Amino acid sequence: MNDMEIELDFRTIKIDLLKGIYNCSERGLTQSLKWLTELNFAVDQVELMPEDIPDLRDDCGDEHARFLMAKSYFNLKEYDRCAYFLKDCVTPKPRFLYFFAKYYAIEKKKLDSMTDTNCPPDPSNNESLKTLYSELKNDFYENKLDGYCLYLYGVVLKKLDLKSLAVDALIKAVQDEPMLWSAWFELGKLTCIKKTDTTAISNKLPDHWMKYFFWAHAYLEQLNNDGALRIYERFCDLGLQNSTYIMSQIALGHHNNRELDDAIEMFTKILVVDPYRLDNLDTYSNLLYVLERKTELANLAHKAVDIDKYRVETCCVIGNYYSLRSDHAKAVLYFKRALKLNPQFLSAWTLMGHEYMEMKNTNAAIESYRRAIEINERDYRAWYGLGQTYEILKMPSYCLYYYKRAQELKPNDSRMLIAMGETYEKLNKPENALKCYYKAYKVGDVEGLVLVKLAKLYDKLDDKENAAAVLLEFCLNEIDKGDNLSEERTEYYNSLLYLANYFFGKGDFNEAYTYSYKCMESEETKEQAKALLKAIAAKRAEQGQEMEGHDATFDPEMTNNQSNNDASDMDLTT
C-alpha cells in the first residue's frame, strides 16, 4: 500500500468516532472504547456543526429496562447474572451483551481455577466455551448476528483453534461495524501468519478509513516494521501526532528494528503526554534492560507500582528489574504473577523463558517458550529461545530447526543467522555455515563479530587466504569506529596477531612488522608480538635487509616503550 494513498477526512472521522464510542460503551467493549476515545481526543480540535452530531437514540425497544439492569450487573463483573436476565432478549444490543457476558463468565472462571503451574486449560476442551460456540453458530446460520456478535463469534472460533472460520467471521464483523477496533485488531493477529494473507483479504475489507490503521497494525504483527512506520508517520503528518496509540506503535516499530534510542525517546514522550499510561511499559522496560540502565528501570518499576501494582505490565517491569539485578528467582515470581492476571500475555511467557535459561532450568524454559508460541506463532524471541535451549542440551538438529523458524520471522537479524551458522558448524556443514555468516555480515552484524567467526571457519578449513582477507576487513572496520571501538578488543588484537603471522609465513616482513607492532598495545598479545618481532628481525638479518626508518636489530624494551606513542599512528594497509 502506497503511503500517498492515505488521505483522512477529519470531519468524517470525528462523526464515526462518536458513533463508535457510544456503541462500544453501551456493549461493554472497553478495549475498543479506550482506543476510540484516545483517537477522538487526538482530533479534539475538529469542530462539528449541530447537524453533524450523530443520532444516538436507544435501539432496545421494550427490552431497554432489562438491558440497563443487566448492563449494571456486567459493569460489576456479575456476568452470569447479567446473562440470565438477557437470555430471552432478541434485539441486537441486549443479544450481544448476553453472549458477551457468557464469554466473560467463562474467562473469569478459567482464571479463578488456574493452578500454581501457570498452565491454563486447553480452550478446545472447555465445554462451556463449546456451548457458547453452538449458540453463536446457530444464530450465525440463521443470519441473526450483527457486527458485534460476529466479532465475538470470531473470538470464540479463534479460541477453539478454528482460525480460517475466525478470519471469515471477523471480516464480516468489520464489514458490518467498521468502527469496532477489536475486530480489526484480532483480524490483524490472525492474518499475520503469512504475509500474503493480508493481500488475500484486502478486497474483502470495507472501503473505510479504519483499514489504514488495520494495515499498519498487521504490518507490525508481521514484523514489517518499516512499512508500519511509514503509515504511522503519515498519520502524524496528517495531524494525528498527538495520539498516544500512534506514538506507542512507532516506539514498538523502532524497538523491533533495534533502533533502541529512537524507541526510548518515543516512550519518554508518551509518558510526558500521559504519565499514568501503563500500556507497552513492558516493552519500554525491555529496552532499559538491554541497555543496562538500572536506575531508569528502577524508577520505572516504582512508577508502575504506584499507578497499579496488579497490572501485567507492572509485573513485567518489576521482573525485568530483578533480572537486571541477576535475581532470577524473583524475576520468575513476578512473571508468574503477570500470567496469573493474564495467561495470554505473550511477553511474560517469553521473558520467563529467558529467566529459566539463566537458572539452567531447561525444561521450564522450553515449556515457557512453547506457551509463547501457542499464543503467537510469530514470536521470534520464543523460537530463538528454544534454539538456545536445545543448544545447551547439545541437540544441534533440534536447535537448527528452531533457529530457522526464528530467522524466517526476522530474516534481516544477524543474530539468527549467526546462530544458524554456529549450528551448521556443529553439524559439520561448513558450506552452509559460511553462507549464514556472509549473509549475517551483509544484513548488518549486530554483535560485530561475525567476520571473526567467518575467519575462524576459513582457518579451520585451512583456507588461510580467505581467513586473512576477512580479518583484514574486520580490523579496518574496527579502526573506522574511531573512539567507538567495540568492547571486543581481544578479538581485534588476536586478529592483528593472526595477520602478522600470516604475512610472516608469506615472507612479507614489512606487513608482518606493521601488525606485530600494533599488537604491542595489548597486554594479551604483547609477548607473542615481541617474539614475532624478534623472528622478523632475525629473518631480515639473514637476508641482509634493513627496515625503513628502523634498525635491523630489534630491541623489545625500546619497542615496548614506544608502542603507546607510535602504534596509534601506524596505518593498517596491505
Q: Is residue 391 in a domain?
A: no
Q: pTM of the full predicted structure? A: 0.83
CA distance linking residue 359 with residue 260, whole number of Å: 27
Output the pLDDT for position 572. 31
Output the pLDDT for position 477. 84
Residue 114, phi-psi category: left (phi > 0), alpha (psi -120 to 50), beta (remainder)? beta
What's the whole-number average pLDDT of the chain?
A: 88
| Domain containing residue 510 | 465-574
**H helix or E strand, kind and range, residue 363:** helix 362-375
CA distance linking residue 384 with residue 407, whole number of Å: 8
Mind listing the pLDDT tens digit for each residue in 209-238? 999 999 999 999 888 899 999 999 999 999
**Which residue do the cell numbers 501457542 mark?**
374
Q: Is residue 520 in a domain?
A: yes
Choose among 351, 279, 364: nearest CA to 322. 351
CA distance linking residue 323 with residue 321, whole number of Å: 5
Q: Is residue 186 in a domain?
A: no
Asked whether residue 546 carries a pLDDT value surpassing 70, the answer given is: no
pLDDT bin (cut points 50, 70, 90) of residue 59 is confident
Total domain count, the chain: 1
Cell of 457: 571457519
Helices (H), 10-162: 10-27, 30-42, 64-75, 79-86, 92-112, 127-141, 147-159
Longest CA span, the chain: 112
Choose among 443, 223, 441: nearest CA to 455. 441
Residues 84 and 74: beta-carbon distance below 8 Å: no
* Cβ partners under 8 Å of residue 78, min gap 6: none
Output the pLDDT for position 196. 46
Query: DSSP letter string over 551-573?
Result: -SS--HHHHHHHHHHHGGG----
Q: Is residue 70 in a domain?
A: no
CA distance linking residue 497 with residue 532, whole number of Å: 9
Residues 283 and 262: beta-carbon distance below 8 Å: no
Q: Is residue 485 in a domain?
A: yes
CA distance linking residue 448 with residue 240, whole number of Å: 38
Instruction: Pick the more confident residue, 52 or 364.
Output: 364
Asked whether residue 115 carries a pLDDT value surpassing 60, the answer given is: no
Average of pLDDT values for 283-304?
A: 96
Output the pLDDT for position 114. 66
Residues 517 and 559: beta-carbon distance below 8 Å: yes
Lowest mean pLDDT among 387-396, 435-444, 479-488: 479-488
Q: In this structure, which amino acid lies at residue 426?
A: K
Q: Is residue 494 in a domain?
A: yes
Output the pLDDT for position 7. 86
Asked whether residue 489 carries a pLDDT value surpassing 90, the answer given is: no
Other Cβ atoms within 10 Å of 135 Cβ, number:
15
Residues 174 and 180: beta-carbon distance below 8 Å: yes
CA distance linking residue 82 with residue 101, whole number of Å: 6
pLDDT bin (cut points 50, 70, 90) of residue 541 is confident
Instruction: Pick the more confident residue, 542 or 238.
Output: 238
Q: Is residue 148 in a domain?
A: no
Q: Is residue 419 in a domain?
A: no
Asked whether residue 303 carries a pLDDT value surpassing 90, the answer given is: yes
Query: DSSP letter string over 179-198?
Result: T-HHHHHHHHHHTTSSHHHH
CA distance linking residue 149 with residue 140, whole number of Å: 9
Q: In this structure, which amino acid lies at residue 155?
A: V
Mind listing the pLDDT tens digit for each residue in 185-204? 999 988 765 444 566 788 89
Average of pLDDT values for 106-116?
A: 77
Mind listing the pLDDT tens digit for each residue in 416-426? 999 999 999 99
CA distance linking residue 82 with residue 373, whole number of Å: 35
Average of pLDDT values for 306-323?
A: 96
Name the percent of the chain lying above pLDDT 90: 73
CA distance linking residue 422 with residue 420, whole number of Å: 5
